[in-house]
Each structure stands twice: as structure tokens, then as C-alpha cells.
Amino acid sequence: MHIGVLGATGPAGRGLAARLAAVGHEVVAGSRDPSRAEAVVGDLRDRWGDRVAGLTAGSNADAADAGVVVVATTWEGAVDTVAGFAPALAGKVVIAMANGLEKVGREFHPVLPGGRSLSEGMQAAAPEARVVAAFQHVPAAAFAALDQPIESDVVVCGDDDAARDVVLGLVAGIPVLRAFDGGSLVNAIGIEAFAATLLTCNLRHTGKGTLRLLGLEGRTS
């Protein structure tokens, strides 16, 4: 699969780009500054060699030209980024992985601009794109550690059934990850908001907990 990652120079973007390349996808790591993307890809190649052979660097515009596009920018810039590339994203599967968060004392609170999820905001910003929420609860460091499996489940939400199925398959193609169909995009509000609770638990219990759904059989590779 040809996948573009918008904002691939941040921790989550670079980690997911590397992980997707490691399972055989052709991945364009995009950035507003292509030289930063080149530096990131160079670092990843130095570390992982042929495991990320399918990873290339480019601009965000280059990444937006891919068949499937991941939005891995900061949550504050995600909706505006999608709006700026709306024509290029028309008809494409667009994966929203951001969580709106603010730290208040010793806990995190969810931020839901306009009372809706960021995923819904991205869909409104690019109405002809097929936005699917996924990867909200996977730590950036887990993506980047290619020598270790990711011990987590991923809930996938989207209004377009075919697009949601594409992302379920993409998630399941990463060893050990389990993909779960979370229904329509409106359900992303709960998925995104729970990230604040999960991070608060990790902070207060000094750990790196992830999401696990017990009693269910998710899609796997």
C-alpha cells in the first residue's frame, strides 16, 4: 500500500511511518520542511537499515498524493492541515490519529474543539475525504521500537464502511496489534477523550499502559 504521513517528523508520525514501512508498505514521510523529513528518514535508515527500505522523504504535499494518508501533525494543527490539502485528499482514506489534550496539574484533560472530536473536525474540513479515526491509544515510542511488538488494541471509527475496512486491515497487518470496528465517526469522540484518562493513569501509576479489550476477538494479521 502507498501511504503518506503528514507531519512525519514528530514522534508519532516518524514512529508510525517506520512501523508501516517495516511491514512492507511504501511510505512517504512528509513535512512542511522536506529537509527535516530527509533528516528523519536518514536517522531511521541508519538505525533500522533494510527494515525501512520502503520509507522515503518528501513534503506534506508529496505525502498527500499517496493513496492512503495519515494525519500525524500536532493536534492543534491537524484540522487546518487537512483543510489545506482538502482537494488532494478528496476520495482518499485519511487516518486521523490525534487526540486533543491539555495537562492540568497531575492529570490530562480532553480538548474537543466545538464539542466534537478532532476526527469529525477533519471530516468537516475535507468533506470529500473518507476520514477514519485510528491509533489514538498507541504510544509514539511503541511505534518506533521496531524490535518490539506493540502490545495494544486499536479501535477504528469511520462513516465510510469501505474506508473503515481498509484501516482495520492496515492495523491488523502490524504484528500483535488487534483491530476493532468501532462504528461510525461520531464514536471517535469517546476514543479521543479516553486518551486523556489513559495518560492520567499512566502518569499517576508510573507506567505505560495501553488499551486492551478483553472478551473480544479483534482482527489480527
User: Which residue in this structure is represented by grid cell 512528509?
Assistant: 30
The predicted structure's pLDDT at residue 208: 86
Q: Which of 200, 160, 207, 202 is nearest to 181 (CA)?
A: 160
The tens digit of pLDDT for each residue in 108-152 reads 999 999 999 999 999 999 999 999 999 999 988 899 999 999 999
The tens digit of pLDDT for each residue in 151-197 reads 999 999 999 999 999 999 999 999 999 999 999 999 999 999 999 99
**CATH code for the structural domain at 2-205:** 3.40.50.720
DSSP-derived 3-state class of residue 13: helix
Q: Are 78 and 95 in contact (CB under 8 A)?
A: no
The predicted structure's pLDDT at residue 207: 86
Domain boundaries, the chain: 2-205
pTM: 0.95
Query: What does pLDDT average to over the chain?
Result: 96
The tens digit of pLDDT for each residue in 47-89 reads 999 999 999 999 999 999 999 999 999 999 999 999 999 999 9
User: Any idea what DSSP says for residue 185?
Assistant: G
Cell numbers linked to 205: 501509576
Give the C-alpha separation, 205 to 209, whole Å: 9
Give the C-alpha separation, 7 to 71, whole Å: 7
Share of the chain above pLDDT 90, in %: 94
